[in-house]
Amino acid sequence: MMKINNEDLEKPKGFEGDQMSEQNNQSQPEEERDTIQKLEQALHECEDKYKRLAADYANYKKRVETEWAQVRVQAEDRCLQDILTIYDEFLRMKNHKMEPHQVIEAVEAIQKKWQQWLDRNLITIINPKGQNFDHHEHEAVLHQPVEDPELDGKVVQVIEYGYKRGRKILRHAKVAVGKFEAKESKQEPVEIKINEEGENNES
């Protein structure tokens, strides 16, 4: 009886390829699962980091707002203290009898303190008399006729001073603006004399 070796058996075509494809199909889902797990882990880490950053920013914003509120209150308190000191000077004038020259001296002292307060707060007075009208800093409350054409469009009177801090206008200066109007020239009457010969002589 003839023996048949396994090696002698002819393997069907494509048999080895089918085995490799099955192995690839089995390994491919495992690789995909690993990739998905890594991506999910990275996503969770990003979410946690975002939540921590959002919480830190919210706390920082709240802290800054609180600090700024405290700074604003402190600045307002200092401002009020300075104004109350100046107000005390007015009360002293009211409660004490003064000679006219003493009243003038007291008013000058108050004005000096007030100017010092303006300087400390970087506030400057807008006194534009003689300057060209500027609507950014001035408010024209009336137009005043002027005879000099060079005064046309210029501030001829300051009714109320303005104030500014840096470039910020706190109050516009109320002013009167010059307006030049040319006067109509009047012709003098011509005297006409008639001589004896009947001729007209203009003089």
- The pLDDT value recorded for residue 54 is 93
Per-residue pLDDT of 123-163, as tens digits, reads: 999 999 999 999 999 999 999 999 999 999 999 999 999 99
Tokens coding 130: 């003689």
The Cα–Cα gap between 171 and 158 comes to 13
> What is the amino acid identity at position 39?
L
Quickly list DSSP for 97-114: ---HHHHHHHHHHHHHHH
Query: Which ranges of the chain have pLDDT less than 50?
Result: 9, 15
- The pLDDT value recorded for residue 9 is 47
First and final CA of the chain: distance in angstroms?
171
The Cα–Cα gap between 116 and 113 comes to 5
Cα angle: 47, vertex 53, 56; to 5 degrees: 140
- The pLDDT value recorded for residue 19 is 53
Domains identified in the chain and CATH numbers: 24-121 (3.90.20), 125-180 (2.30.22.10)
- Stretch (H or E) spanning 41: helix 15-95
**How many residues make up the chain in this entry?**
203
CA torsion 139-142-144-149 (nearest 10°) is 40
Measuring CA to CA, how many Å separate 53 from each of 22, 47, 60, 65, 193?
47, 10, 10, 18, 107
Average pLDDT value over all residues in the chain = 82
- The pLDDT value recorded for residue 191 is 61
